[in-house]
Amino acid sequence: GAGWIYDGSNFARDGVVLVAINYRLGPLGYFAHPALTQQAGAGMVGNYGLMDQIAALEWVKRNIRTFGGDPANVTVFGESAGGASTLALLAARRSKGLYQKAVVQSGGGWGAPTTLADKEAEGVKAAAALGLTAPAADQLRAVPAADLIAKAQGDFGPFVDGRLMKQTPAQAFAAGRANDVPLIIGSNSGEDSLMSEFGLGAAAVGKALPQAVRTVYAQEAAQSDEVLGRAVFTDRAFGAPARWTAAKAAKGKPAWLYHFSYVGSRFRPAVTRAFHAAEIQYVFEYWGRRTPLSMIKPDDQAMATLMHGCWVAFAKTGKPDCAGWPAYDPKSDQLMEFGAPSGVRTNFRKSRLDAQEAAALPTLELAK
């Protein structure tokens, strides 16, 4: 993929300069090996994709005035892997000052730390698969990109390298060390659409859950193991981390939490939940190449106008001044639901998200 698939025309129409960036992915973006670490000395290693993102932000700072932008009023935002990257940028001190606001759409945020040693071990296995035993750095760099992509296995994303990334985003937010900027963060009602990508069977996940979880999710468990598994995945991977991050961020600059549940008219009634990434076209108020205007109904356009307006206001002022959306406070626990209808919700899925938080936090090494 590439950043050009996101059409920023409507942001530009509304006075916001939008820059879509590209960065290295997979093993080309996040690869480590002892030989490369040794050659780098005290320099940067491994997180090449994140380095690309920081380089792009530095480019914006140097050049955006030429395009009518303000280098002192930059918002960094992304969805899914882009949301995870935005969280990594908030944890990376080197990116401080390159942006003044951030938006995380379905970015997760709870992952056990992956270290440089972990990534180096993956790199050693990849080298062996390529027929290289104890290779020098120049030998690794001589490997054709297609061969490296085919042979390298792992979870390719930002990791704790001790240099650019000294901590995970969760560790940074828990310790109050994340870059302190206004934040919008949230997730969708149908994030379980991702389960197949991870090779997870919803029914098998639901069936394997302990009784304590079934008790909290009694309503879902009563329907089926599949419904239970999908609900738990959505909350554990996205909903609960978003709420927890908003609560931590709110100790500094304000944060706003959202839940997107709107299902486009063209999908109803077969689809009942907003799948992963469904909110993007509403944020951009853009229907894309595969969604002709003939398929768009007035309520779809109304949702796009609302959500896009919130994001535009946030980009301009640092506050999504729309529809009475309050800044997040864990005491009042209010979020904005973009749905049918939209509105402020209090204690949204509280018992379920509390249970997910209690189970997940001990696995995140937050004392680091």
- In the predicted model, is pLDDT for residue 172 greater than 80? yes
- Are 218 and 299 contacting, i.e. CB atoms less than 8 angstroms apart? no
Residue 35 contacts by C-beta under 8 Å, 6 or more apart in sequence?
134, 135, 136, 137, 139, 140
Query: Is the per-residue pLDDT at 368 higher than 80?
Result: no
Q: So what's the pLDDT on residue 287?
A: 87
What three-state secondary structure class fits 79?
Answer: strand
For 260-308, what is each residue's pLDDT tens digit?
Answer: 999 999 999 999 999 999 999 999 999 877 788 889 999 999 999 999 9
Q: 106-126 burial string, b = 16+ CB within 10 Å, else e?
A: bbbbbbebbebebbbebbbeb
Q: How far apart are the first and last CA of the chain?
A: 35
Q: In this structure, what are the phi and psi dihedrals at residue 178, rounded to the nearest 5 degrees?
A: -70, 150
- Angle, CA 306 vertex, CA 302 and CA 307 arms, to 5°: 120
Task: Enumerate the active-site residues.
Answer: 80, 191, 276
Which residues have a Cβ under 8 Å from the Cβ of 220 and sit 6 or more positions away?
A: 227, 228, 231, 232
Q: Which domains does the chain have, with CATH numbers?
A: 3-363 (3.40.50.1820)
Pairing of the two strands 343-346 and 334-338: antiparallel
Amino acid identity at 87: L
Q: Could you report the per-residue pLDDT of 62-83, keeping only the tens digit for each?
A: 999 999 999 999 999 999 999 9
Q: What percent of the chain has pLDDT over 70?
A: 99
Predicted confidence at residue 337, as pLDDT, reads 98
